[in-house]
A and B are shown apart, each in its own frame.
Chain A
Amino acid sequence: MRHPELDDLAIAHVDCDAFYASVEKRDNPKLADKPVIVGGGRRGVVAACCYVARLYGVRSAMPMFKALEFCPDAVVIPPDMRKYAAVGRQVRGMMTALTPLVEPISIDEAFLDLSGTERLLGGSPARSLVRLVRRLEQELGITASIGLSYNKFLAKIASDLDKPRGFRAIGRAEAESFLAPQPVSLIWGVGKALERRLEIEGIETIGDIRERDEHWLVSRFGAMGRRLHRFARGQDDRRVEPDEATKSVSAETTFNRDLTDAEELARRLWPLCETVARRMKAGGHHGHSVVLKLKTADFHLLTRSRRLDTATQLAEEIYRAALPLLEKEADGRAFRLIGVGCTDLDDGAPGRLGDLLDAERDRRARVEHAMDAIRARQGEAAIVKGRSLPPTKPR
């Protein structure tokens, strides 16, 4: 690859190609040439689709039924988030081997600032990135696309230009001429609504933005106006901020049909508490607060939280904190989604407070630790609480 500024650019955006689908294909070579969609449920959406499926018009975030209209022969695989997270961590590890300045955007996508790594890595950032992509392919069996530039805005645009297995650089000299004919929607933060407002003002390309002065843009679009002004000139001074410590752990599920019944909702809540607890235990976190999330049938999002008197990572305690929050909201409204999480995380050993009035509390903790020990040896399904079983019909 040739580019006059190639050795002067150090901000990269690395984006794995069709990540979930690639991982599934890697693990099952029979799928290699088949259209693969990761996603699930009648009401689900496409979480990821391979490039074969994209040839049929399938896109990620597309409702599943629509994706299957486009591509009836697709192999649909329910997402295995634990597997993807594990691969995501391996990818992250290879990135941080190059630079500590890695800012993850999602499980399979991150910004890297490689400034000043030439000496250490024995080559320009561009070379180091080529080596990274090769490692990803050889060691993890997945592919990624790279965008390289002098800021995050352009790096992100560049990684998208040659997907999959792409590598594109955008240098300072070409930035303005490259941007000018591009549609405004290329700018991060310009959605459908803003795009329409800009169109009314006669602005359709990024070049059109440059013809307006900053005052005009700010007076009409506020802070976004300033961003438009700068981005249109290829300017972006946001820094690559390394990963912060985990702030919360949560899990949620969308129902196949809306639910109103409090007991039914509580039954859906319990496995989520187990998932959150499993992740909390794996990450060594204790949460001081529990958050319940509900989405009504008309897409109203509710969050309710409760501070705990003693930090926890136990499913039983998360459930006992979330249940009263749920009972208050389950007043006959129909919900399409429920989620639960822990926030206010403590990664040390926060200690456990006993309860004078609830002697069962310690016993419940011991029960859960015993269940964990059995699961560690015999698998997740080896032992469950009665609460996990389907309700029995009254005789």
Chain B
Amino acid sequence: MKITIERAALLRSLGHVQSVVERRNTIPILSNVLLRAEGNELSLTATDMDLEIVESAQAEVLRAGATTAPAHTLFDIVRKLPDGSQVELEASAESGVMTLRSGRSNFRLGCLPTEDFPQMSGGEMAHRFSVSAADLRTLVDRTKFAISTEETRYYLNGIYLHAARARSGEAELPVLRAVATDGHRLAKVEMPLPDGADGIPGVIVPRKTVLEIRKLADEAADRIEIGLSETKIRFTFDTVVVTSKLIDGTFPDYERVIPTGNDKLMEVDARSFAAAVDRVATISTEKSRAVKLALGKGVLTLSATSPEAGSATEEIEVSYDSAPLEIGFNSRYLLDITQQIEGEFARFSMADAASPTVVRDVADGAALYVLMPMRV
């Protein structure tokens, strides 16, 4: 293999693929990126066996071929090369070495045989549909904070993506819905079901995959193709294809835990509420992060106390008409949710100090959050 490629193009592609590569690997080949030169393209592949990312970049191919080189080292070298430089990569199957030349810089990197590089068997994607990059960003942003990292409930370590029917007045609309929960909060967001997505199986997309596609969605052109089988999901951006295994588990029946009868309603200016929670939480202990909400007619009093730091209270005007209520929350969980509310007002539907509270963006019916109180 022998190619020349612009430093900027190589850096961009390596930047995408190297983040899949784990920093510490017990299997040496997984530290490497597979480089394959063909036609007028260099394709780069990285994998951690659960997630594979393939990207192609324009290059001048002088001799077609392939090799694998250490991903992080290669990325670091290219990152440090001057702007606008040309990079030459040359490797031969026999030597086990790849040479990188650029200007007066010369690197020799140890390579591993391409035959050892694990291929994620492609498999047929039975379902295909496309979503806009903006919709994909919304689905991910509104839910990813609630993904659990607790390994014992592995089936919560991702976003549950599925087709559902949403009630809107009398009518029922088909929607594509994303749900994530860690048991303490739950986030649910939906969009109109794209063509081709009816009949898709409900799948759990792992957290790492979610975070990778979220990064790529920032740079993506408008449409993103999604392919789905029982065990894998594939996202196709312009020049990048991300294939991921799905979490093999059953997502809990989340609709059962979304309360429908909460009758104590509070509406509050989302920005000033978030700012006040943030201020008051300065006092709550680092470990528990508890804040208390005391609701009376038209006014909400936020408070926090800690044995070491002291205490804090702040009042905000709210619209609230029900019986007085005191309820505690983890302040960080409250902030995670209020940050997702883009409209002016947030609506809290509560029952009592021990039961889950529902939070919605008054201006956006597509997203719903459930938050478990903290008993203090």
Contact = CB atoms under 8 A, between A and B. Distances in A.
B355 to A, nearest CB: 8
B126 to A, nearest CB: 30
Contacts of B306: 348
B285 interface: yes
Interface stretch (B41-49, B177-185, B223-231, B343-351): B177-185
A386 B375 CA distance: 29
Contacts of B372: 353-356
Given A356-B257, A356-B356, A357-B257, A351 B290 contact: yes
Interface string A19-42: 000000000000000000000000
B288 A351 contact: yes
A352 B184 contact: no
A289 to B, nearest CB: 10
14 contacts: A309-B150, A309-B184, A311-B287, A350-B290, A351-B288, A351-B290, A351-B374, A351-B376, A353-B330, A353-B372, A354-B354, A354-B373, A355-B372, A357-B153
Interface of A: 288, 309-311, 324, 344, 346-358
Interface string B238-279: 000000000000001000010000000000000000000000
Interface residues of B, number: 29
B253 to A, nearest CB: 9
Nearest to B372: A354
B112 interface: no
Nearest to B259: A356
A348 B184 contact: no
Interface of B: 150-153, 156, 181-186, 252, 257, 285, 287-288, 290, 306-307, 328, 330, 354, 356, 370, 372-376
A360 to B, nearest CB: 12
A325 to B, nearest CB: 10
A353 B184 contact: yes
Can you list the 5 inter-chain pairs with the closest CB atoms, starting with the nearest?
Answer: A350-B288, A351-B376, A351-B374, A355-B183, A356-B257
Contacts of B330: 353
A350 B285 CA distance: 8
Contact of B183 (A288, A346, A351, A357): A357
A311 B375 CA distance: 12
Nearest to A355: B183
B151 A309 contact: no
Nearest to A344: B287
Given A346-B287, A346-B288, A357-B181, 20 more contacts: A309-B150, A310-B374, A348-B307, A350-B285, A350-B287, A351-B288, A352-B374, A353-B330, A353-B374, A354-B354, A354-B356, A354-B373, A354-B375, A355-B183, A355-B184, A356-B181, A356-B183, A356-B186, A356-B257, A357-B252
B334 to A, nearest CB: 12
Of A346, A351, A352, most buried by chain B (CB within 10 Å of CB) is A351
Nearest to B354: A354
A326 to B, nearest CB: 12
Contacts of B288: 311, 346, 348, 350-351
B287 A309 contact: no
A215 to B, nearest CB: 40
A233 B373 CA distance: 61
Contacts of A311: 287-288
B150 to A, nearest CB: 7
A346 to B, nearest CB: 5
Contacts of A352: 374-375
Contacts of A346: 285, 287-288
B304 to A, nearest CB: 11
Contact of A288 (B181, B287, B374): B287
Contacts of A356: 181, 183-186, 257, 356, 370, 372
A232 to B, nearest CB: 42
A309 B374 contact: no
A313 to B, nearest CB: 13
A310 B288 CA distance: 8
Nearest to B152: A324
A356 B375 CA distance: 14
Contact of B328 (A348, A351, A358): A351
A351 B287 contact: no
B117 to A, nearest CB: 29
A354 B181 CA distance: 13
A347 B307 CA distance: 9
A166 B350 CA distance: 68
Nearest to B307: A348
A311 B288 CA distance: 8
A257 to B, nearest CB: 30
A309 B148 CA distance: 10
Contacts of A349: 376
Contacts of A353: 184, 330, 372-374
